[in-house]
Amino acid sequence: MAERDDTPEIGPGSRVTLHFALRLEDGMVADETLEDEPMRFTMGDGTLIEGLELALLGLRAGDHQVLKIPPEVGFGFRDPEAVTEMPRSDFPSGLKLEEGLIIGFTTPTGEEVPGAIVELREESVVVDLNHPLAGHEVEFEVRILAVEPPGEQP
């Protein structure tokens, strides 16, 4: 047990390597790295939303956890104002528009956000700009592979 106490724990600025799975309430996998390359990031760099980062604080290499993340600390609640109607002329003419299609949109601040087409009308398209996981409690499974304290070179 003394060995474990010497391993760094995840804190602000830590460089973390992990495998993860993000699942919806019904068990459907929304995103995961379990079968691919692990994710590497620095705590606080914006790679993960704050609620997922908070779930990692204090974990160490070798830790495995499955946590429920509610909407208020996860992907937020659905905002009815984020469903907007746009003229068909705003979309490229060669793009085959269909309900369920997810398209990247650029906000006035330059941020790229996904939007899902929810309805096609004669002259317009109704787009939902809510995060696809908004309003959902998600299950966040993590396996911590490595933790490097801030300031240490890889």
- pLDDT value for 88: 94
Same domain, 6 and 71: yes
Mean pLDDT along residues 54-68: 94
Query: What CATH number should be reported for the domain holding residue 92?
Result: 2.40.10.330
98-120 confidence digits (pLDDT tens): 998 989 888 788 888 889 999 99
Query: What CATH number should be reported for the domain holding residue 42?
Result: 3.10.50.40
**Is pLDDT larger for residue 151 or for residue 67?**
67
pLDDT > 70: percent of the chain: 95
Mean pLDDT along residues 46-75: 92
Supply the range of the domain harboring residue 118.
Answer: 80-128
- pLDDT value for 153: 54
CA of 154: how far to CAs of 11, 46, 73, in Å? 16, 20, 31
End-to-end CA distance of the chain: give it in Å, rounded.
25
DSSP 38: P
Cα(115)–Cα(9) distance, integer angstroms: 37
Same domain, 69 and 84: no
Same domain, 23 and 71: yes
Q: Output the six-digit token pair for 42.
A: 């620095």
Same domain, 21 and 8: yes
Name the β-bridge partners of 115. 103
Same domain, 51 and 89: no
